[in-house]
Structure 1
Amino acid sequence: MKLNYSLDDMRLFWVVAQQGSFKLAAQHLGIPPSTLSRRINLLEQSLGLRLLHRDAHRVNLTATGQRYLERCGPLFIELNQVSGELHADKHQAVGKLRISAPINTTYRWLGESLNAFQRHYPNIDIDLSLSNMNIDVSENAIDIAFRVGEPKDPDWIARPLTTISFVLCASTSATQWHALQAIEALEQHPVIIAKPVKTWRLQHNITGQDFEFEPRGNIKLAVDDMAIASQAVVAGLGIGLLPISMASEQIQSGKLVQILPEWQGIPRTAYLMYRDRDNLPLRVRLLIDFMLANPPEAY
């Protein structure tokens, strides 16, 4: 059976039933009473059934109209609730944010930044997924992703937040590596790799010469957590390329030494990533603005 009315016709009937008169319903809907009456007549003609008894002041439901209202009423109540929730998404600082971020980044500064954000916006909740591997942000319905390194998803907007510098380190006890003279010598010694970075891009502090080192047969440990990689370097298992902020703590405590100090890792940028520039829920826009207004210091 083909019906010649729209969902909007049903909604108009529902509003008339709720208001109890065409005049009040027309005022509520912002349309002329004559237009409303004509639309309801068309709905009844399409159904072949009378839904309303009309008099000069009020309308009353027929028995058929009452059954029709009982079936379609919950639908429009739910639709109104959904519309209200969407309105809150757009205009109120409420709801849940789904965020993806690397573990070490979160430990270093992001966790404290998110805590400060939630203190400022107490009605926004956060679902934070930590992984040093780049998860599929679209498949996991992520609102905002934090990434280190050049973004590879062209469909996402990437905003730079800070840079991370790296130095070559060895354990204080691993004296056999302290006096390395040439960067090429790295190929002859065991190294610790923090995935997903498998290629070390280095630059000479004085000459500006670039050197790209891709370990192959000398990888002692490959792990997707920078803190575990740092522990392996401290244990003397191999040479590591570590963030300056992490290495400096171990150097000051006497656990690590910097080797080949004239070479440093080319800084990597930490990005905040989101999908759309427009039509964002307010909670997403607020976090973007908060992070851009309070970026971490380079480390």
Structure 2
Amino acid sequence: MNSLPNLEDLNIFVQVAKRASFAAVAEQLGMSAAFISKRVRLLEQQMGVRLLHRTTRRVSLSEEGERVYQWAQQIFDTVQRMGDDISAQHREPVGQLRVASSLGLGRRFVAPALSELAERYPQLDIRLDVHDRLVDLIEEGVDLDVRVGNAIAAHLIAKPLARNRRVLCAAPEYLRRRGTPRQLAELSSHDCLVIKERDHPFGVWQLQGPQGEQSVRVTGGLSTNHGEVAHQWCLDGRGILLRSYWDVHDSLADGRLVQVLEDYHQAADIWAVYTSPLASSAKVRVAVEFLRQYFAERYSLPGAD
């Protein structure tokens, strides 16, 4: 190796190693897969070793690549901690803040909240990614995940933003046509609009009721990974929907939807989740407090303390 590796290329290599895909990293960074591959090849030439095994189907680390990856991880983790430590000394948060959320919650609440946060703290460089899956905060370099659902891994720090639950609802026209279910088991004979949630198995509704937690497997002719699509299908009378109260409360209030099986719900509070190394980060601390106030001013669950 004739010189120190280019840190930008080294970071690209680390991302490829994590994702095992040039295309995934290219999409993440807004670059072409050919450019990503070229930068890794330049790094290999500079270091004089092959870092990756490439086939038409997959990318994997070579023995030397594994060693470089481990060292690079330590380097970038140290740089991140340095930045967080310096940021913590500032009264004003600075630097990049990467936030993840689900599709519906991200659009409805998180995106406008971050827009206001950026206006208040212009030294923050905020990026929001929305997903229909839970993100790996460490592997994907996410600072803060705003998520719905109470199943949170023990190694993560979770701060409550708002009380929430998912409720069962349907359009009056659907209930006139198919009847109103009176018992949970009757859902299996109804058309149910199934959403691929980030925190629950697909096609199984786990609900809290008078007899504790119960599960029911549901099916229907329509399913999606986008809550707004399912909400519209429900308004169109296509089936019964299990959806967060924050998303359907307007439709319930104006009578376009009717809550069914009101004794049953799914706990789905809204949380700000981050890793312990970021606990002292000014940018994360400010973002969490801002989001907590934002939700408090704009969303209230009936019956919540």
Q: How many residues are paired up?
A: 212
TM-score under structure 1 length normalisation: 0.62
Q: Which residue of 2 is the match for residue 265 of structure 1?
A: 265
Aligned partner of residue 122 in structure 1, secondary structure: coil
Match status 1:132 vs 2:137: no
Q: Which residue of 2 is the match for residue 215 of structure 1?
A: 217
Q: Which residue of 2 is the match for residue 5 of structure 1?
A: none
Q: Which residue of 2 is the match for residue 286 of structure 1?
A: 286
Displacement of 1:129 = 0.5
Q: Which residue of 2 is the match for residue 238 of structure 1?
A: 239
Q: 1:171 to 1:288 in 2, by over 3 A?
A: closer
Displacement of 1:271 = 1.1
Task: Output one character per residue of 1:252-283: Cα deviation in whole Å (capped at 9) or x when no partner.
Answer: 4443222233x231331111111126674322
Task: Output one character per residue of 1:42-80: Cα deviation in whole Å (capped at 9) or x when no partner.
Answer: xxxxxxxxxxxxxxxxxxxxxxxxxxxxxxxxxxxxxxx
Task: Output one character per residue of 1:221-244: Cα deviation in whole Å (capped at 9) or x when no partner.
Answer: 232221111112222222111223
Q: 1:248 to 1:212 in 2, by over 3 A?
A: same
Q: Distance in 2 between matches of 1:179 and 1:155?
A: 43
Displacement of 1:293 = 4.9
Displacement of 1:115 = 2.4
Q: Which residue of 1 is the match for residue 70 of structure 2?
A: none
Displacement of 1:186 = 0.8
Residue pair 1:191, 1:219 contacting (<8 A) in 2 also? yes
Alignment of 1:10-159 (within 5 A): 86=83, 88-92=86-90, 93-159=93-159
Q: 1:210 to 1:151 in 2, by over 3 A?
A: closer
TM-score under structure 2 length normalisation: 0.61
Alignment of 1:175-254 (within 5 A): 175-196=176-197, 197=200, 198=202, 199-204=204-209, 208-210=210-212, 212-216=214-218, 218-254=219-255
Q: Percent identity?
A: 23
Q: 1:146 to 1:259 in 2, by over 3 A?
A: same
Q: 1:284 to 1:233 in 2, by over 3 A?
A: same
Residue pair 2:184, 2:216 contacting (<8 A) in 1 also? no
Q: 1:143 to 1:246 in 2, by over 3 A?
A: closer
Displacement of 1:151 = 3.7
Aligned partner of residue 219 in structure 1, secondary structure: coil
Give 1:115's aligned amino acid.
S
Q: 1:294 to 1:244 in 2, by over 3 A?
A: closer
Q: Distance in 2 between matches of 1:209 and 1:143?
A: 39
Aligned partner of residue 220 in structure 1, secondary structure: coil
Displacement of 1:149 = 1.1
Displacement of 1:155 = 2.3
Give 1:214's aligned amino acid.
V
Task: Output one character per residue of 1:22-60: Cα deviation in whole Å (capped at 9) or x when no partner.
Answer: xxxxxxxxxxxxxxxxxxxxxxxxxxxxxxxxxxxxxxx
Aligned partner of residue 114 in structure 1, secondary structure: helix
Residue pair 2:137, 2:275 contacting (<8 A) in 1 also? no
Residue pair 1:170, 1:236 contacting (<8 A) in 2 also? yes
Residue pair 2:100, 2:128 contacting (<8 A) in 1 also? yes
Q: Which residue of 2 is the match for residue 29 of structure 1?
A: none
Contiguous gaps of at least 5 residues in structure 1: 1-81
Displacement of 1:107 = 2.8
Residue pair 2:162, 2:292 contacting (<8 A) in 1 also? no
Q: Distance in 2 between matches of 1:106 and 1:249?
A: 18
Displacement of 1:193 = 1.4
Residue pair 1:99, 1:129 contacting (<8 A) in 2 also? yes
Give 1:141's aligned amino acid.
G
Contiguous gaps of at least 5 residues in structure 2: 1-78
Residue pair 2:172, 2:258 contacting (<8 A) in 1 also? yes
